[in-house]
Structure 1
Amino acid sequence: MVAKIKSGKSLIGALNYNERKVSHGKAKLIAAVRYSKDMDKLYFHDKLLRLTDLAARNERTKTNTVHISLNFPNGERLPDDRLQHITQDYMNGIGFDGQPYLVYRHEDAGHPHIHIVTTNIKPDGERISLHYLGQNQSEKVRKEIEIRYQLIKAEGQQRQKPDLKAEIMAADYGQAETKRSITNILSYVVRTYKFTSVPELNAVLQQYRIAADQGSKDSRMYAQAGLIYWMLDDKGDKIGVPIKASSIYGKPTLKALEERFKLNATLRKPFKENLIKVLDEALKQPLTAPQLQQLLSEKGIHIILRRNDEGRLYGVTFIDRNNKAVFNGSDLGKAYSANQLATILLPEPKQHKQTQIDDWSPTATDYNKNTGNDVLDALLEVEQQDLAALNKFKKKKRKGLNL
């Protein structure tokens, strides 16, 4: 369990944040401690007034808002009643045992977590000191709770090496909350893959139907180094509403990723030579692009070939799935660039398009068959009926003119 404590000057701001999540179906209130009404009967005004009434008893203290999040690792799905007990023990342990507080369970990130909103002003107007609260009381209580409730220890999570073989499922729009799906995939990819640019990151993300978007080069978002993430459909087209990088757990913003690029440039170096050996072995024989992709896939290497509208190969990226390392072809050497591969790959055989004949449009040979004659007779019969109707109309017209 990881605890994060934020202090501020706006109780209504902290409450609004959580209530908006509730209204959007991304959170729910699971506890209202030391409130005079039952939780399901509390209105927004009731929730706020209980806290602001206490805050008003010490006008000298401007920092009167405490917003705490308790975060749990993926896989540790705790029921509401267990979270209520954990929250109670935590709040008592950090010295807020007499304070009213609201507990919200959030469902908008890649890991289970709760938010607690309270004030540090006691009923007698005394202020609860927040100085070193996180480093001292919070850390001590957090560790005690991990033991008491047999939770996964935060230290153990940090030391645990990621399982490079543990894959995650591609995003499926509409099957899960968009932000949670994007967060789960990003967390896995950023932690395990070694990429050195946004295009290289996208080469991996697109396998999971996710895309990082900087905007067009003349856009305001690009100029301000912004970044958003989209979900993709089966055809690779953007779908749904994009999520800002800054709002995702872990904040995979462009600035944060650029620091990761520098580190990954070093971390992927040991895998470059082996990848080149595999490619050299594969390219000894003449192959078409699909044959090369299939051969490398069997060796744990995914190759992405990018072509323009005319079909010209202009980019190539190799993803070493065994070692989670990503390389552009030119990074490996000129021999593995898109231009060079375009000269050595065999042209793909042209597929002969078979003319499709609709059921209602028989061929010439069909007319020689009984079924063909039947169709022809039916068509001629309709034409004869049209001619008869036209002649009848002309006769009526002549009579009207007394001709």
Structure 2
Amino acid sequence: MIANIGRGESLFGALSYNQLKVEKENGEILYTHKIVETVNGLYTTAQLARSFEPYLAANNKTEKPILHISLNPNPKDQVSDEKFQAIALDYMEQMGYRNQPFVVFKHTDIDRTHIHIVSVCVDEKGKKISDSFEKRRSVNISRALEQKYGLIPTTEKEHLQNDSIFRPVDYIKGDLKSQIASVVRHLPKYYRFQTMGEYNALLSLFNITADEVKGELHGTEKQGLVYSVLNENREKTSNPFKASLFGKSAGYHALHEHFKKSKESLKNEHANSSLKNIIQVAMHMATDEKSFKKQLQEHGINTVVRINDNGRVYGITFIDHNNKTVLNGSHLGKEFSANVFNDWWNNDKRPQIENINSKKPIVEPVIAKDLYNREKPHDLFDFLNYNTVSYNQNEPSFIESLGGLLPEVQVEDYEEQLFENQMKKKKRKLGQ
């Protein structure tokens, strides 16, 4: 069993990420500890958050008081809900967090079921609970729990073999082909995008760009795709790599088929309404481009802005890592088009925000105030460790920290899928 521990500032971010899984029927609340019960046994993010408020209110010194832990059994393990509950309680007790409120979420959106635990690392007096030798203790506890509950042993080394997937390409490290492959072979499996522009916006998070190439061979028109690596100035820094090097899923025809399927699946997508509401809240509360992007980061949404040499915003794309969708602003509606943001950020014409439907905003006012009024940069484990992207070459940096581009929980899910594939390969090699 592999345990991953994340720490952050935003309780709302951690809870809403997991609660979204529940709402989409890709997860469930498996167990609550020291959480105020509701009449019907169902919870909203705000209701869950209230049980943590006394601990966070008492906290005075700990910058990252929120814990977000995932426990990931071997793919071949079949773990019942009761056993998952027992494992979670055992793990939290041995790590020193048994007296804290926590929520155990079960995720079922990938082949291997696993659990996430949201808690706090400060006690009721606001004192930080010791995290000395946390990594070592967690590994030892995981090994002991494997024996206690009859789980298949899994080493950290095996898990880390897949650590390179969904990492930004670093042109200085070399072996660019392998680095590109670790990204482009898998993106279409997880994300929906309808155009080359949206695909390139997603690729830009990984320092990659794709170009369509057309030509004629023996009188027949041919179409293809090549990938190149970008440096910190958004300039191509490698020779182009043919898409055929990375398999059919990364090729021209497969991607255009993916565009069609994505367009069809997004026609009546309720998640689009949620995304619109989140963007509208950010537009209403943000003061400028920087704070707008920061607020969307709180919800796991990257903002990719395209700016020409004259500084005009000519394109804006929103990458929602919760719903795994990539949408140009124009696809969401004219009120989210590039012109609107250009007028706001360059001409000081603030857009008039109207609620798109009669539903209440997703972010409740009290929590929203807490989210949006922070001055320090957020550094939450799920999706707050990265910077938003701009094609403006005048910006000094594209991504300041390589390991934190995507939500860590999301990355972990991808790693789990690869880990399962690795286990299958080993099984075939052994002739089992």
Normalising by the residue count of structure 2, what TM-score does the alignment of the two structures yield? 0.42
Normalising by the residue count of structure 1, what TM-score does the alignment of the two structures yield? 0.44
